[in-house]
Amino acid sequence: MTHQVKILLVDDHAVVRAGFKLLLTAAVPNITIIAEAERGEAALQLYQTHQPDLVIMDLSMPGIGGLETIKRLIQRDEKVRILVFSVHDEQVYVHRALNAGAQGYITKNSAPHILPSAIECVLQGKRYIEQGLINSQTTVDDYEQIISAFSEREFDIFNLSAKGLSSRQIADELCLNYKTVANYVTQIKKKLHISSITELAHIAVLHGIVRH
């Protein structure tokens, strides 16, 4: 990058923003943080005022939150470049951010050398996803097919798990043995290529099966 790049930094923690500015200055030449916001509503106003080349933002924020902020930025300017910088490394967060319109996704645990590559890719209109965040076997479009292929019992257990019920509570609800339910849950996660109930719940929300 030979020209000066204007960045809008969006994160609800001032300490994180300060640390990220130091990281940016050290890792990436020709960077200027022209504005900072701690929530999405402010980010929308600052984007309109400053017209940055790149928005680097977290997903977990008060107010309208990161995903809704991404969607509204895209609605206002379809050419906006957004790089998500999040503590969340679950696939479902990555998929939701990309579906909302972000072009890049890296985690706050990523190595410093990743940052310049991510910024350059996104500025060039390319997609950048930190290595290891997305299982190559599964894309967000695959989830619907996988869920559609669930047996009736699998779907019931998937639905109840997504609503926050434990395996023991599901067993009581469906009059099943606890171990049977636990086995179903393991099988469901395996089919979705995920490892946690949090990811399962977000997939259910993503596809409108349960409400946020």
Rounded to a whole number of angstroms, the distance between the first and last alpha carbons of the chain is: 40
- pLDDT tens track for 169-210: 999 999 999 999 999 999 999 998 888 888 898 888 777 777
Chain mean pLDDT for the chain: 88
Same domain, 29 and 62: yes
Look up the CATH number of the domain holding residue 27. Answer: 3.40.50.2300
Q: Are residues 68 and 16 in the same domain?
A: yes
Instruction: Please give the residue range of the domain that contains residue 156.
Output: 140-206
At residue 1, the pLDDT reads 58
Q: How far apart are CA 64 and CA 175, in angstroms?
A: 40
As a whole number of angstroms, the distance between CA 186 and CA 178 comes to: 12
Is 135 a member of any domain? no
Give CA–CA dist 33/161, Å, rounded: 42
**Inter-residue contact 181 to 189 (CB < 8 Å):** no
- Is there a single domain that holds both residue 53 and residue 155? no
Taking the whole predicted model, whether its pTM rises above 0.85 is answered as no
Q: What is the pLDDT of residue 135?
A: 61
> For the segment 13-27, what is each residue's pLDDT rounded down to a tens digit?
999 999 888 888 887
Do 121 and 189 fall within a single domain?
no
Select from 129, 157, 192 the last residue of a domain: 129
Residues 48 and 148 in one domain: no
Does 155 score more than 80 pLDDT?
A: yes
Residue 130 is encoded by which pair of tokens?
Answer: 């930190």
Same domain? 159 vs 106? no
Same domain, 145 and 115: no
11 belongs to a structural domain: yes
Task: Take residue 50 and report the two structure tokens written for it.
Answer: 């400053």
For residues 169 and 161, the answer to whether their CB atoms sit within 8 Å is no
Grade residue 2 by pLDDT with cuts at 50, 70 and 90: low
Q: What are phi and psi of 161, to 5 degrees?
A: -65, -40
* 212 domain residue, yes or no: no
Same structural domain, 125 and 201: no
